Amino acid sequence: AQSVAQPEDQVNVAEGNPLTVKCTYSVSGNPYLFWYVQYPNRGLQFLLKYITGDNLVKGSYGFEAEFNKSQTSFHLKKPSALVSDSALYFCAVRPYSGAGSYQLTFGKGTKLSVIP
Amino acid sequence: DGGITQSPKYLFRKEGQNVTLSCEQNLNHDAMYWYRQDPGQGLRLIYYSQIVNDFQKGDIAEGYSVSREKKESFPLTVTSAQKNPTAFYLCASGLAGPKNIQYFGAGTRLSVL
């Protein structure tokens, strides 16, 4: 069975500084990896995904993520944080194939607070 | 939130009562999903459906039931057998296949009276 770990419940960063939200995963075979963002009392919004190819994936709102197969990580990054980036961020994984490929498995989420 | 509509936004359940959460999508997606979100626990899959008239249990299906009679609709019933139903419920849809994005509705918050 696949799993996702987001080791930090909360990340605080000053506005204008770079931000990183960490994610590691466990899956049989190759993974499809996703990042979503959730604002209070709202559904999840898709940010970016890794399918194959270039390890650096660019997504919405200036976010990017780096896939590292040897470290089984997919950390979310942004060069310069905005106060409006403050939200709950979820990493998710699906395997390429097999019974588990029908299921998107989420981490527990990381709350990002950008301080003005 | 786009083309996925969840209703109602807030729902209250009395002891022993079944309640049904609605999820409708106009994105022509084959696959639909129901998740439960509790604080600090991320999202957990309740049920999913890859095609009309077919659905499978997820990790926490006990106390819940679903139907998929139309491609556009995937209602979730929280039965009286679900002893701790208070949570935020999210419906999602997407094209079939593991590489495709799941798109989420705005959610329904269920509380017990």
Distances (CA, A) of B44 to A55, A62, A110, B53, B81: 28, 28, 16, 22, 18
| Partner A contacted by B48 (CB < 8 A) | yes
Alpha helices in chain B (DSSP H): none
Q: What is the pLDDT of residue B15?
A: 85
Q: How far apart are CA A39 and CA A69, in angstroms?
A: 30
Q: How far apart are CA B88 and CA B58, in angstroms?
A: 17
Contact (CB, 8 A) for A27 and A93: yes
Which residues from chain B sit within 8 angstroms of residue A32, using beta carbons? 98-99
Residue B88 tokens, joined: 């935020």
Which residues from chain B sit within 8 angstroms of residue A42, using beta carbons? 1, 106-107
A43 with B109: Cβ contact below 8 A: no
Q: What is the pLDDT along chain B (113 residues), one digit of tens a residue?
A: 459 999 999 999 988 899 999 999 999 999 999 999 998 888 999 999 999 999 999 999 999 999 999 999 999 999 999 989 999 999 999 998 888 899 999 999 999 88
Residue A90's closest CA among A6, A26, A1?
A: A6
Report the residue of chain B nearest A1, measured CA to CA: B59
